[in-house]
Amino acid sequence: MSAHTGFASPSLGQLLHEAIGSLRNLGRRSLLALLGIVMGSCSVIALLNIGSNAADQAMSVFKEMGTETVVVQLPSGARGQDGLPLRLDVEALRQAVPEVATASPVVLYSAPVVFHGRSANLALVGAGDALADTAGLRLAEGRTLSAFDRREAFVVVGSRAAQVLGEPDDPLRVGDWLRIGHYQFQVIGRL
């Protein structure tokens, strides 16, 4: 008996028996109605899935464009509270903000670069080993810098720098040595 109405509630068996009886009595109409309900439900599920896939694809396009990239530029000569020059502590940043996938400190400057007597004043990027992953750089040959190269005089050159410094009969290759300022660097990769 139901507490609200005072009548007995139908059992599950009775409900199933009544539903099957209605389907038999109405024949094709009930079959078409049931088919319509199934098709409508499938259509809604398909549309939701298509919308979700489209949103995922749009997000991947935006990620490739670098919308998840944050650049922090410190003013030249900036100093901390202790009076020392400001530094970006990448490991502390990763611990403080776990959502940061990759980070790489970068220093930009220009200097004369010499290869086999040919000289050019080029823009240089001093960076950590994570720059290739962070910036999505692709190598034409060689390798990128790694954590093991921290104290080594290695350099990865861009394709334009390789063209400017090299000549058709004497191209700049992986393994060659460059003079940047007063220091010698070995080329380990080319973009």
Domain limits for position 18: 12-65
Residue 72, in any domain of the structure:
no
170 Rama sector, left if φ>0, alpha if ψ -120 to 50, beta otherwise: beta
- Regarding whether 105 and 51 lie in a shared domain, the answer is no
Residue 156 included in any domain: yes
Asked if residue 180 belongs to a domain, the reply is yes
* Residue 182 covered by a domain: yes
83-97 burial code (b ≥16 CB/10 A, e <16): eeeeeeeeeeeeeee
118 and 162 housed in the same domain:
yes
pLDDT in tens, 129-158: 788 877 778 889 999 888 888 888 999 998
Q: Does 112 share its domain with 183?
A: yes
Residue 52 is assigned to a structural domain of this protein: yes
Strand locations in the chain (E):
106-115, 118-127, 141-142, 154-157, 177-180, 183-190
Q: Which carries the bigger pLDDT value, residue 70 or residue 4?
A: 70
Q: Is residue 70 part of a domain?
A: no
Are 105 and 58 in a shared domain?
Answer: no
Question: Do 119 and 186 sit in the same domain of this protein?
Answer: yes
pLDDT digit string, tens, across residues 71-105: 676 776 777 777 776 777 778 887 888 877 777 77
User: Is 79 a domain residue?
Assistant: no
Q: Can you give the pLDDT at residue 155?
A: 92
Q: Are strands 154-157 and 183-190 parallel, antiparallel or unpaired?
A: parallel
Same domain, 60 and 106: no
- Which of 20, 44, 65 represents a domain boundary (last residue)? 65
Residues above pLDDT 70, as percent of the chain: 84
- Is 116 part of a structural domain of the chain? yes
pLDDT reported for residue 39? 93
Report the number of distinct structural domains present in the chain. Answer: 2
- What does the buried/exposed string (b/e) look like for 57-69 if buried means 16 or more CB atoms within 10 Å of the residue's CB? eeeeeeeeeeeee
Q: Are residue 122 and residue 171 in the same domain, yes or no?
A: yes
Same domain, yes or no, for 107 and 186?
yes
